[in-house]
Each structure stands twice: as C-alpha cells, then as structure tokens.
Amino acid sequence: MECVILAGGKGKRLLPYTEEIPKPLVKIGDTSIIELLIKSLIKCNITSFTIAVNHQAEQIEKILGDGSQWSVSISYSHEPFELSTVAPLKLMPNLPDNFLVINSDIITDLKFDLLYDYHIQHDSLLTVAVCKREHKVNYGVIECDKNNNIVNFKEKPNLPYQVSMGAYVFSKELLEFVPDNVKFGFDDLMYMLLEKDIKVKTFEHDKFWLDIGRPTDYEKAMQQIDIIKKIIS
C-alpha cells in the first residue's frame, strides 16, 4: 500500500503553536503529530510514503528524512504554491492504481489496512473514512409538514451526523476529474462528484479520532496522551 500524507498547509488555525514550525511538527508530548501518524500507519503494514509539502518543507524533511529510522520509504512532492488537499496528487506521476491519502494533522486508531481492503472490495473510485459526531441544539426543534402543521417536536435534541476523518483511499482514475495547477480541495472534489452522480463509499470508524486543527483540539490531545501512546505502541 502506498500512502500520501498531505503536509503542505500553513496551519494558521493552530496558532500560536505554528508560529515557528509547520503544523505536522507540533508535538503531542515528545512526538510530533506527523510522526505519530506515520507510526500508526506502519502498524497497519504500510511502508511506502509520499509526503506533499510546501510551507516550511525543509523542516519536515529534516525531521523525517527518507524514513530509514523506521525501516520505511519516504519521498517528497513539492507544491509550487498551496494547492489544498486534492490538487497535490496531480504532481505525483508514479502513484499506484489505488492509494491512501491522509491529512497530516489527525491522530486515530483507524485500521488503515482495513479501509484500503474495503475500498478494493467495493471497486470504488473514492472511499472516505467517517466518524459519528453529535451536535447539541439549544432550542426546541419543530418539524412541520407541507401545510405548516407541526408533526414533531424535540426539546434541545442531540443531532447526529457523520464527518470526514481526513483519511481516504483514492483510485488513480479519479484524478482525471482534478484540474491541473490550481487550488483544488476535498470539498471541491465532493461537489464535483455529487454533481456528476458518481458514487463515493464511506467507511465508518467508531473509535478514537482527533483532528488537531485548533488550539482546543491540541489541548484535548494533550489530555489524552496515554490513549495516543497506546495507538502507536
């Protein structure tokens, strides 16, 4: 399995932790986010990585090197400018027919090998790992029929929804839909695929997942360091 790790963003939402270092190198305890991610991927028998870099790329390359410290292979793909989360894949000509794509700022015990197998079994162009979340509504929610008659009422309900975990399996032919040399993200891709009525599979994960996008997320990760250590041990 080949894995692409997206590490080119500036991490502005995670300020002040990213004032001097790129977001993937922010440490949870004594280990950077991207190293935690790589170790969790290695546990799923993934040994070949391409890392998409742009902002402060030299710092990431200096820390990770060629992967020999973990007995894996790491190469780098340099973005000429910030290309978001999908367009960087067009710069990688030697990708296999199916490959993992992972955001560099997530920590999870997701079984990446099972995600990959699921994608292959369903012959999908794109498979998205998803997690369930709930939103607390602080109002009484009223549901009406087409004649404005109330048919249901819920007092301050918890509304469930599914979110993308920032972990995907792509089929290479999907890149035919991605424009060249322009910023193009996962959101752009989803809108395009939905418009074209192309089916996208989801793979549900109901265990540990953190997206280290904001200072509150970082603080939450620091509070759960014992759980995180178990993920990579």
pLDDT bin (cut points 50, 70, 90) of residue 166 is very high
- Overall domain count for the chain: 1
64 is a domain residue:
yes
129 is a domain residue:
yes
Instruction: For residues 171-195, give the mean pLDDT.
Output: 94
Say which residues have a Cβ less than 8 Å from residue 216's Cβ, sequence separation at least 6: none
Query: In a 3-state reduction of DSSP, which class is residue 85?
Result: coil
Cα angle: 82, vertex 87, 91; to 5 degrees: 95
Is residue 207 pLDDT above 80, yes or no? yes
Question: What angle, 0 to 180 degrees and rounded to 10, lies between the N-to-C axes of helices 57-64 and 33-42?
Answer: 50
By DSSP bridging, strand 2-7 and strand 98-103 are parallel
Give Rg (Cα) of the chain. Answer: 19
Cα 32 from Cα 106, distance rounded (Å):
11
42 is a domain residue:
yes
Residue scoring higher pLDDT (129 or 232): 129
Query: In a 3-state reduction of DSSP, which class is residue 143?
Result: strand
The residue whose two tokens read 């020999």 is 68
The alpha carbon dihedral of 60, 63, 66, 67 has a sign of negative
Residue 206's alpha-carbon distances to 39, 162, 181, 221, in angstroms, are 20, 11, 36, 17
The pLDDT value given to residue 9: 83
114 is a domain residue:
yes
Q: Could you tell me the CATH number of the domain that includes residue 128?
A: 3.90.550.10
Is residue 13 pLDDT above 90, yes or no? no
Residue among 43, 49, 15 nearest 108 (CA): 43
Query: In a 3-state reduction of DSSP, which class is residue 125?
Result: coil
Q: Which two tokens stand for residue 31?
A: 């280990």
141 is a domain residue:
no
pLDDT bin (cut points 50, 70, 90) of residue 76 is very high
Domain with 221, as residue range(s), is 2-133+162-232
Residue scoring higher pLDDT (229 or 116): 116
133 phi and psi angles, rounded to 5 deg: -135, 165
Contact, 203 vs 128, CB < 8 A? yes
Residue type, 36: L
179 is a domain residue:
yes
